[in-house]
Structure 1
């Protein structure tokens, strides 16, 4: 039996092993399967890998590397370091029937087909299904593209054909910058004490929701050991939220947070405002106060100036004033 059950880091995992004498040579291979797959899936994958390994070492045929193979390799080698590993595994498992057996070197027509299916309102059997937005489709295909690129990087694929994938273009740029009045109205409408505090902190710090929930308050400011860009950072505490920073300890779950936020924004008359918009509002306030984009990017924790450039249109008036000073005598 090529599949055995082991315990790794306190969790049950499956491991595939292959050991045979092929044409006088001993061939040994072992691979840890990604977490979350069933015993049936593990057995099917084990038989498939057995067949491919035997064919490869006898020269009978060169095995086709499928997208499913690439995903399994990527998950096995890299998933331990992903912050979104649970979510990514769930998404990949959901769509596995659509990509598992697809040749990873023939991506153009397949990608067009899968995009069409994801947008469709009926499934393969004709039953109603919920269509995915282009943003969600792009997310799924980005996971698959990363797996294929990794398989090519480690030598499992001869060529990287991901450039031929047809992926929907999505414009994620949003132009809503809540002002202080909007923030305060939502905060006043919020009945949950912790969320009400987080609303004010977000506007006066530019922190993301997750950062607010895990930030440590120190004498230097909000301390974040782990951020989206991989670097620790300190955000000074604005005087208007200094008391909240000392007194508020966040204990609620993300689900509780979202429910309280949605109720508050609806009650205040801003049903389309997202919590992340408060971060944009903080950037807008700083820029309108004359703070340069480099400093704004530092406060927001941007690793690259490219991320901060989304706010460049907010400095138009200041740029016009600067141009107007050309040629003036001092």
Structure 2
């Protein structure tokens, strides 16, 4: 039986290997790493099952099973050059590879429920402590996997798309955190990295996303973005308070390093729950409170639809309420 014992991460586990020629066909090579905790008897049973499936496919008795791992690898090979977040996406997919690699890509419902439960759990399969993920992070992982399966269906690798049956946790992203200038400055002053410190100030005075800040080109007309989230070219005027930064700072920092420095700075400043993206909301709040209309705010932020800008509509309502409250008041002499 092609089962061997190996050591990985300091612990013993089993690996199954198949390397044979069946009935004159090309040589078939497959390798699967079994989960930690698999017993010898369980490993032998899985080996017999997998070998039987290979012979059934080779003899034409059944069609080969397309796994989620197959879909993910095809998606990466074909599409990674077009992904702006390629390193992050591939890193995330590789991290959880063992949880989906051998899973049938057309049998997703029960698997996705089990996978979500594991990501939320505080213990790994071996009973060791692990960090539970929040539903927002879980959604991102499943979104990468779902995109790979949909692509495999699109190119004909799968006969049907069953991604609608995936159990993906809902997430309410309606957060209302609008940092004021003093909060932004406190975090910036605690930041030890020059480029990240500059990025914090630019985010507040421009409303740009982190990825946009790192690739924006300063011009006489403003920060130029040729490749944006909505696919349109955009120019953001440069606020006088960051004009010097626009001239002197050139961002070469790794995005992950940028995020790490931000996390440290916000903790030191006492704003552990403030996200970098909240600075963008802060910029919108500042504009609206200064009398700028929602359409203009949406244009500055690069919203393709007014639906995205609508999250700030309550700020306008608050300002209008203040105006209405002044009706009938006598002016002070």
TM-score (norm 1): 0.74
Equivalent residues of 2:225, 2:233 under 8 A apart: yes
For 2:111 and 2:257, locate their aligned partners in 1 and report how far apart those are by CA, in whole Å: 40
- The alpha-carbon distance between structure 1 residues 249 and 99, as it changes in their structure 2 partners (threshold 3 A), is closer
Q: How does 1:1-330 map to 2 (within 5 A)?
A: 55=57, 59-317=60-318
Per-residue CA deviations over 1:51-77 (Å, capped at 9, x if unaligned) read 979948x74322222222222222222
Cα drift, residue 193 of structure 1: 4.0
For 1:246 and 1:217, locate their aligned partners in 2 and report how far apart those are by CA, in whole Å: 7
- The alpha-carbon distance between structure 1 residues 40 and 85, as it changes in their structure 2 partners (threshold 3 A), is farther
For 1:125 and 1:270, locate their aligned partners in 2 and report how far apart those are by CA, in whole Å: 35
- The alpha-carbon distance between structure 1 residues 319 and 104, as it changes in their structure 2 partners (threshold 3 A), is farther
For 1:162 and 1:227, locate their aligned partners in 2 and report how far apart those are by CA, in whole Å: 28
Per-residue CA deviations over 1:245-275 (Å, capped at 9, x if unaligned) read 2233334444553454344434433232222
- The alpha-carbon distance between structure 1 residues 258 and 162, as it changes in their structure 2 partners (threshold 3 A), is closer
For 1:262 and 1:128, locate their aligned partners in 2 and report how far apart those are by CA, in whole Å: 23
For 2:256 and 2:310, locate their aligned partners in 1 and report how far apart those are by CA, in whole Å: 32
For 1:144 and 1:256, locate their aligned partners in 2 and report how far apart those are by CA, in whole Å: 26
Stretch deviating more after TM superposition (251-260 or 76-85): 251-260
Cα drift, residue 279 of structure 1: 0.8
Per-residue CA deviations over 1:109-161 (Å, capped at 9, x if unaligned) read 11111111222222233333332222222111111111111122222222221
Unaligned runs of 5+ in 1: 1-20, 29-38, 42-47, 325-330
Cα drift, residue 85 of structure 1: 1.9
- The alpha-carbon distance between structure 1 residues 222 and 136, as it changes in their structure 2 partners (threshold 3 A), is same
- Residue aligned with 2:127, SS: coil
In angstroms, what is the RMSD of aligned CA positions?
Answer: 3.2
- The alpha-carbon distance between structure 1 residues 81 and 52, as it changes in their structure 2 partners (threshold 3 A), is farther
Equivalent residues of 2:56, 2:62 under 8 A apart: no
Per-residue CA deviations over 1:229-258 (Å, capped at 9, x if unaligned) read 232211011122223322333344445534
Cα drift, residue 187 of structure 1: 3.2
For 1:53 and 1:230, locate their aligned partners in 2 and report how far apart those are by CA, in whole Å: 48
For 1:74 and 1:210, locate their aligned partners in 2 and report how far apart those are by CA, in whole Å: 23
For 1:188 and 1:90, locate their aligned partners in 2 and report how far apart those are by CA, in whole Å: 32
Stretch deviating more after TM superposition (63-72 or 278-287): 63-72
- Residue aligned with 2:96, SS: helix
- The alpha-carbon distance between structure 1 residues 167 and 246, as it changes in their structure 2 partners (threshold 3 A), is same
Unaligned runs of 5+ in 2: 1-22, 33-49, 326-333
- Residue aligned with 2:284, SS: helix
For 1:117 and 1:196, locate their aligned partners in 2 and report how far apart those are by CA, in whole Å: 37
For 2:182 and 2:131, locate their aligned partners in 1 and report how far apart those are by CA, in whole Å: 37
For 2:257 and 2:121, locate their aligned partners in 1 and report how far apart those are by CA, in whole Å: 32
Per-residue CA deviations over 1:194-245 (Å, capped at 9, x if unaligned) read 4333322211111122322332211111112222223221101112222332
